[in-house]
Amino acid sequence: MTILANNIAIDYLKAGDGDITLLFVHGSFINKDYWREQLEYFKTNYSVIAVDLAGHGKSGTDRDHWTIEEFGKDVAGVIDALKLENVILIGHSMGSDIILETAAIRRNAVIGIVVIDALKNAGTEIPELLQQADAILENLNTNFADTVEGYARQGLYSPDTDPKIIHTVVHDYRSAYQPMAVGTIADLFRYAPRERALLQSLDLKVYLINVDYIPTNEELLSKYARSGYELHIIHGTSHFPMLEESQVLNEALEKAIDKISQELILEQAARNQ
């Protein structure tokens, strides 16, 4: 299915018909199909939606500037177009920043935030990465496919990652829409101050489900997540638990979703008193 959101065509999957909507947002250069196990698992009790971000999957590419903020507006546009209420935003990797943007735009519709393998150095630049930024962007423009594959292999896997997962992700990275990918990576290099500001202004608790192949800096989360956070660590060997450990991820998601749902019930009861 496709809708127009923020003036761009957004393709999406939908399952279930519950009062609470789980809106799944994928990370860089992949697509909504990574969430199929989650759609199947949660469709009995929830409305479940997974989108292709602009420039990804089957969504449109009619855009000159590619930024995290624009992706956030796209997801907000999906909420508007589908008239969604009681939305729990669930974002993987870059999708975590996108849903922070969306929550800032459509706070009245959003009841919860869950991020998956993200915000491990919340709101903070990584000096080593910044030092390589110009060279990486130059390489993306001269040898795109090999550069994005190198990025995936260097930081998103461990030696124990299933080769089938590596093959899937590498294929998607190499075939990514180049103008989107280059623009997005350039934006991510300078995004940390924006991420920090969004966390500091967010009036929702952040639930994190992170994989332990790279540690999470909780000191930074304590410092910047204004409304608090709850971190759940799962064991794995890659950045893609929806592919590697879908059942473990689903169970962790279910716990976070239940807590957010209970918070909504308490909030509604307080308003009715």
User: Domain ranges in the chain?
Assistant: 2-125+192-272
Instruction: Give the Cα separation of 154 and 131 in Å (integer).
Output: 16
Strand partners, 157: 238
Cβ neighbors of 58 (< 8 A, separation 6 or more) are 2, 11, 31, 52
Neighbours of 15 (CB within 10 A): 18
Instruction: Give the Cα separation of 53 and 44 in Å (integer).
Output: 25
What percent of the chain is modeled with pLDDT above 70? 99
* Helices of type H across the chain: 36-42, 68-81, 94-105, 127-142, 144-155, 163-174, 178-189, 192-201, 218-224, 241-244, 246-272
Residue ranges of the chain with per-residue pLDDT less than 70: 273
Residue 272: predicted pLDDT: 72
CATH of 2-125+192-272, one of 3.40.50.150, 2.60.40.10, 3.40.50.1820, 3.30.1330.200: 3.40.50.1820
Q: What is the DSSP letter of 86?
A: S
Residue 273: predicted pLDDT: 67
Joined tokens for residue 56 = 């990804």
Instruction: Give the Cα separation of 75 and 12 in Å (integer).
Output: 11
Q: How far is CA 127 from the centre of its chain?
A: 23
Residue 17: predicted pLDDT: 95
Cβ neighbors of 77 (< 8 A, separation 6 or more) are 4, 5, 6, 10
Instruction: Give the Cα separation of 144 and 178 in Å (integer).
Output: 7
Q: CA nearest 18: which of 272, 203, 264, 271? A: 264
